[in-house]
């Protein structure tokens, strides 16, 4: 077949917004586990927990099959939901599980609007939302950018509130030189396939002491307590939340690469800032994230699209996503403001309650960012997004 002169130049392969990095040594290790005869929770989970604990300042850490049940269990250990009037303050701009678990334990979520610059919960609003029924705060480190831990724990301490850090996205982030997870109260991480470190599905909970760790183990598996060779008792209702050894082996292959992954993500994020035409974005009111290259693990790179500018061209976010997809670029939405989901509307929330979260929820766009992306990929995304916004 002769070359067709009107055929377009070969297009680069589709660029997803994220992609896990699983090396061959990990794949071989997983095969070994599969051949070993012990595939569910066992020695690999124990080894994974020990390494996680070492990264969390030696605090007790237990592994689970999600970064959702971890938060639910933390609330149960803290006794939150024991009274139906119990309240938990959190952000409306997060993955919906953060608020769903509050409902799950029988408590009521109380939302505090975000800071439009960090897009994380506004701690001034958290303080104003504290009342006689408040039991806990669940801050979320959106995109890996940490909520101010100094101020957070000061507020919690003064009001005697428990904290369950939803650090699902911030494994590898730090605050004041200390790794997230190595201090504070409960800290929950997720190892979902899209997170910076993955076990395919999974998560872990950092606890305060061995008594809490024992409770976490009971909630993890049907409330079972074993003793001696044949002793078994059940003291409370627990779930089915244990991690498999196959999954833990994936995590053991990921952990040694965390620093390298974080460094590469930071370098790619810097390149986004360098490549964007800041004056143009400012003129149309397309907002970049906080340029933090110290604390954040850059789990995601998100822009807030210029709603009014797009509306003048009769365009919405979905049109921008479709235009980028036609150029071979995948994007995501993390997240719509959750108080506007049907479930939460039925519970009384409505449009206008949290204007900053609603604006971000309507206009946020997650751009591709993952360790094996190239610098040229970043340039291609920036070029494509700016040309769409310019109406090319």
Ligand X SMILES: *Cc1c(COP(=O)(O)O)cnc(C)c1O
Cα 102 to Cα 136: distance, rounded to the nearest angstrom: 10
| Structure tokens belonging to residue 313 | 């061209």
Residue 238 or residue 306: which is nearer to ligand X going by CB? 238
**Which stretch, 39-47, 53-61, 124-132, 166-174, contacts ligand X (CB under 6 A)?**
166-174
67 sits near ligand X (criterion: CB under 6 A) = yes
For the segment 287-316, give every residue that binds ligand X (CB under 6 A).
Answer: none
Name the minimum Å distance from CB 231 to ligand X. Answer: 32
**Which stretch, 163-171, 262-270, 325-333, 355-363, contacts ligand X (CB under 6 A)?**
163-171
Name the minimum Å distance from CB 289 to ligand X. Answer: 15
94 sits near ligand X (criterion: CB under 6 A) = yes
Contacts of 373 (CB under 8 A, 6+ apart): 15, 19, 268
Torsion angle defined by CA atoms of residues 63, 65, 69 and 74, in that order, rounded to the nearest 10 degrees: 0
Using alpha carbons, select from 129, 86, 125 the residue that is nearest to residue 106: 86
| Structure tokens belonging to residue 19 | 């992609």
203 sits near ligand X (criterion: CB under 6 A) = yes
Binding mask 137-156 for ligand X (x = CB under 6 A): ---x----------------
Contacts of 278 (CB under 8 A, 6+ apart): 288
244 sits near ligand X (criterion: CB under 6 A) = no
68 sits near ligand X (criterion: CB under 6 A) = yes
Name the minimum Å distance from CB 170 to ligand X. Answer: 9
Cα 376 to Cα 384: distance, rounded to the nearest angstrom: 12
Cα 30 to Cα 38: distance, rounded to the nearest angstrom: 12
Residues that bind ligand X (rule: CB under 6 A) add up to a total of: 14
| Structure tokens belonging to residue 203 | 């998560």
Using alpha carbons, select from 16, 10, 5, 59 the residue that is nearest to residue 321: 16
Cα 383 to Cα 30: distance, rounded to the nearest angstrom: 40
**Which stretch, 164-172, 235-243, 278-286, 345-353, contacts ligand X (CB under 6 A)?**
164-172
Residue 240 annotated in active site: no
215 sits near ligand X (criterion: CB under 6 A) = no
190 sits near ligand X (criterion: CB under 6 A) = yes
Binding positions for ligand X, rule: CB under 6 A: 66-68, 94-95, 97-98, 140, 166, 168-169, 190, 192, 203
């Amino acid at each position: 077949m002769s070359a067709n002169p009107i055929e377009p130049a070969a297009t680069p392969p589709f660029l997803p917004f994220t992609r896990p990095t699983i090396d061959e040594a990990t794949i071989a290790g997983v095969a070994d586990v599969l051949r070993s005869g012990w595939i569910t929770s066992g020695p690999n989970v124990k080894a994974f927990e020990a390494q996680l604990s070492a990264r969390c300042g030696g605090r007790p850490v237990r592994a689970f099959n999600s970064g959702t049940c971890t938060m639910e269990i933390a609330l149960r250990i803290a006794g939150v939901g024991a009274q139906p009037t119990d309240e938990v303050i959190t952000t409306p701009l997060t993955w919906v599980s953060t608020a769903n678990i509050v409902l799950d334990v029988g408590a009521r979520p109380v939302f505090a609007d975000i800071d439009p610059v960090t897009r994380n919960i506004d701690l001034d609003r958290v303080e104003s939302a504290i009342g006689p029924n408040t039991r806990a705060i669940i801050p979320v480190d959106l995109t890996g950018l940490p909520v101010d831990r100094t101020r957070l724990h000061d507020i919690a301490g003064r009001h005697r509130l428990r904290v369950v850090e939803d650090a699902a996205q911030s494994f590898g982030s730090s605050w004041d030189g200390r790794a997230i997870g190595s201090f504070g109260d409960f800290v929950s991480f997720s190892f979902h396939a899209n997170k910076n470190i993955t076990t395919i599905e999974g998560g872990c909970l950092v606890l305060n002491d061995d008594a809490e760790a024992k409770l976490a183990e009971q909630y993890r598996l049907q409330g079972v307590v074993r003793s001696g060779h044949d002793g078994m008792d059940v003291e409370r209702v627990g779930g089915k939340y244990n991690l498999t050894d196959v999954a833990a082996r994936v995590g053991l292959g990921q952990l040694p690469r965390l620093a390298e992954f974080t460094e590469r993500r930071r370098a790619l994020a810097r390149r986004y800032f360098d490549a964007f035409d800041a004056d143009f974005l400012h003129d149309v009111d397309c907002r970049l994230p906080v340029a933090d290259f110290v604390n954040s693990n850059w789990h995601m790179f998100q822009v807030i699209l210029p709603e009014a500018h797009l509306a003048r061209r009769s365009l919405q976010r979905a049109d921008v996503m479709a235009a980028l997809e036609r150029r071979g670029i995948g994007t995501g939405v993390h997240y719509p403001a959750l108080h506007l989901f049907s479930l939460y509307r039925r519970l009384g929330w409505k449009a206008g309650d949290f204007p900053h979260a609603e604006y971000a929820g309507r206009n946020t766009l997650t751009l591709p960012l993952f360790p094996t992306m190239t610098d040229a990929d970043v340039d291609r995304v920036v070029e494509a997004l700016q040309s769409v916004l310019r109406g090319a």
